[in-house]
């Protein structure tokens, strides 16, 4: 009986000593795994936020450019107004590079009554935190575009 009791006590002491050797490792494992899982999640959120901002900017730029174009007095003035409106929309979302605007008409002149004007805003979004040596070999940009169709008023006085 004493040998059984001695064995039980010895195994209990060994188990306690084994636990003491592992104390403090849980916090290290938690921090390591937390950082390992958190960094890709933060990158994903940054990327999706930038793409969503580009989508909003392209939509706003196309719509406002079309609306500004059809209110112009001449084709040259209308194109200048459309470019100004689109550049304001691009700058609101911090897209100064890689943003373009295209305006097309369904006939000539563009601003004739019931004419249709199509404005297309395009933004090339560079993915965040991609180094140049990687971007040279892997596509590191996404193109976002938006098209808006505006019509010139039927009873417009020019």
Residue range 88-123, pLDDT digits in tens: 999 999 998 999 999 999 988 889 999 999 999 999
pLDDT at 34: 86
Task: Find the largest Cα–Cα distance for the chain.
Answer: 113
Task: Identify the CA nearest to 104 among candidates 46, 73, 147, 52.
Answer: 147
State residue 151 phi and psi, 5-degree precision. Answer: -115, 145
In DSSP terms, which residues pair with 125 in a beta bridge?
A: 142
61-68: average pLDDT: 97
Q: What is the pTM of this model?
A: 0.77
Q: Domain extents for the chain? A: 29-151
CB atoms within 10 A of CB 36: 9
In DSSP terms, which residues pair with 18 in a beta bridge?
A: none
**Under a CB-based contact definition with an 8 Å cutoff, are residues 82 and 124 in contact?**
no
């Amino acid at each position: 009986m004493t040998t059984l009791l001695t064995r039980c006590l010895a195994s209990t002491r060994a188990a306690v000593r084994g636990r003491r050797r592992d104390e403090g490792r849980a916090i290290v494992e938690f921090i390591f795994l937390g950082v390992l899982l958190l960094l890709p999640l933060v990158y994903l959120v940054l990327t999706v936020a930038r793409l969503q901002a580009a989508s909003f900017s392209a939509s706003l730029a196309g719509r406002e450019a079309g609306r500004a174009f059809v209110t112009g007095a001449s084709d040259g003035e209308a194109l200048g107004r459309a470019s100004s409106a689109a550049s304001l929309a691009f700058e609101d979302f911090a897209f100064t590079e890689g943003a373009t605007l295209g305006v097309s008409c369904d006939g000539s002149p563009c601003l004739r009554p019931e004419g249709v004007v199509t404005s297309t805003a395009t933004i090339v979004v560079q993915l965040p935190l991609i180094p140049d040596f990687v971007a040279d070999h892997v596509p590191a940009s996404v193109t976002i575009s938006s098209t808006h169709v505006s019509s010139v008023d039927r009873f417009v006085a020019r």
